[in-house]
């Protein structure tokens, strides 16, 4: 999948994260307005904010996603399935689930795959993304987690929650992209706070970016484009 490094192209890769536990309704409103203003692909909101976000973003073209088993992934599979069902009823259309990190680190591959597969089945064809929390894993675990994500039928494998003291790296995104087949996409999330980082993740193979810095990333890109246009105009008038 080729992504144009234009404002529209990069905006179409962004899931604008609105997940901080301390956010008030006013904070949420501000972030939803940013998502609508910049025309990002979606917002990823706390489960309790789904219905409100759906209503506030109606007509903007911005999709609403949410998180499942967030942020530690240690809830039971039954709880994750129930959480997804409620989220879907509230209007969410994409679901970012946290893998059972302890099970993955323990080598309990069947447990991990079954957990993912149950959530994927409950999503009934909706987009599902499996968060590995790469800052807590070594390279072998990231590779194995990526393979198990594909075995479980998920749409994306994703780097991080952004709440575990680490985020996406080019090395990890590259490894994930090399491990899964073209049928599975890669989402880079955590620490993607500027345009250069966003471009680096896309070049490493990510087709979706999870970030709370959408305005910064897209604003930098707009300023760069405007600078080029001004330079070209100046060159034209110099003849």
* 146-155 pLDDT per residue, tens: 999 999 999 9
Q: According to the CATH classification, is domain 7-237 in 3.20.20.70?
A: yes
Q: No. of H helices and E strands in the chain?
A: 10, 8
Q: What is the pLDDT of residues 4-50, one digit of tens each?
A: 889 999 999 999 999 999 999 999 999 999 999 999 999 999 999 99
What pTM was estimated for this model as a whole?
0.94
Note the pLDDT tens digit of each residue in 216-225.
999 999 999 8
Nearest to 44 by CA among 80, 84, 94: 94
Closest CA to 201 of 212, 187, 211: 187
49 given a catalytic annotation: no
Distance CA 200, CA 169 (A): 9
Active site residue 129: no
Collapse the DSSP code of 28 into the 3-class scheme (helix H, G, I; strand E, B; otherwise coil) and give the result. helix
Residue 116 predicted with pLDDT over 60 = yes
Mean pLDDT, the chain, rounded, equals 95
Active site residue 80: no
Burial 110-129 (b: 16+ CB within 10 A, else e): ebbbbbbbbbbebbeebbbb
The catalytic residue among 15, 49, 90, 96 is 96
Q: How confident is the model at residue 184 (pLDDT cuts 50, 70, 90)?
A: very high
């Amino acid at each position: 999948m080729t992504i144009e490094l234009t404002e529209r192209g990069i905006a179409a890769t962004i899931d604008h994260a609105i997940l901080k536990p301390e956010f008030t309704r006013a904070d949420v409103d501000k972030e939803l307005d940013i998502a609508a203003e910049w025309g990002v692909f979606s917002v990823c909101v706390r489960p309790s904010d789904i219905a409100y976000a759906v209503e506030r973003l109606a007509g903007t073209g911005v999709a609403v996603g949410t998180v499942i088993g967030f942020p530690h992934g240690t809830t039971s599979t039954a709880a994750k399935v129930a959480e997804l069902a409620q989220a879907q009823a509230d209007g969410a259309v994409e679901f970012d689930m946290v893998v059972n990190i302890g099970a993955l680190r323990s080598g309990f591959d069947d447990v991990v795959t079954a957990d993912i597969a149950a959530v994927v089945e409950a999503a009934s064809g909706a987009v599902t993304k499996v968060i590995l929390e790469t800052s807590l894993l070594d390279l072998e675990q990231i590779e194995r987690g990526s393979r198990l994500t594909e075995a479980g039928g998920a749409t994306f494998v994703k780097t991080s929650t952004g709440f575990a003291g680490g985020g996406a790296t080019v090395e990890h995104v590259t490894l994930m992209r090399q491990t899964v087949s073209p049928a599975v996409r890669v989402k880079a999330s955590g620490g993607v706070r500027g345009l250069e980082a966003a471009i680096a993740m896309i070049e490493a193979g990510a087709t979706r970016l999870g970030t709370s810095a959408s305005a910064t990333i897209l604003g930098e890109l707009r300023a760069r484009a405007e600078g080029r246009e001004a330079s070209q105009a100046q060159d034209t008038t110099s003849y």
